[in-house]
């Protein structure tokens, strides 16, 4: 399974955590969780940090605006979404 497929599966089945910083950044850019969900569903991995198992995922929100996020898969197979931004 590819990294983007793993991220999508973990996100779909609810084993994820949002940081407080993520909510601040979504709000600052006028995005919602639904935009984030959509961008992960249709996005791609643009950058990886293999040592930290961290990824930059970029896609389009449900409103069509480009959205990027930084996330990490933990050793217990949970997804931590750290931040998001208008790409």
Instruction: Show pLDDT as tens, one digit a residue, over the chain (87 residues).
Output: 899 999 999 998 888 999 999 999 999 999 999 999 999 999 999 999 999 999 999 999 999 999 999 999 999 999 999 999 998
pTM for the model stands at 0.93
Please determine, looking at this structure, whether the domain spanning 3-86 carries the CATH number 3.40.50.300. Answer: no
> Helices 33-42 & 3-12, crossing angle to 10 degrees?
140
pLDDT of residue 62: 92
Query: Could you tell me the residue ranges of all domains in the chain?
Result: 3-86
């Amino acid at each position: 399974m590819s990294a983007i497929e793993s991220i999508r599966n973990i996100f779909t089945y609810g084993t994820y955590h949002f940081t407080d910083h993520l909510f601040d950044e979504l709000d600052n850019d006028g995005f919602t969780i639904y935009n984030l969900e959509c961008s992960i569903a249709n996005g791609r991995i643009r950058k990886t940090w293999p040592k930290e198992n961290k990824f930059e995922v970029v896609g389009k929100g449900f409103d069509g605006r480009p959205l990027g996020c930084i996330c990490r898969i933990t050793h217990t197979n949970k997804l931590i979404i750290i931040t998001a931004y208008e790409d």
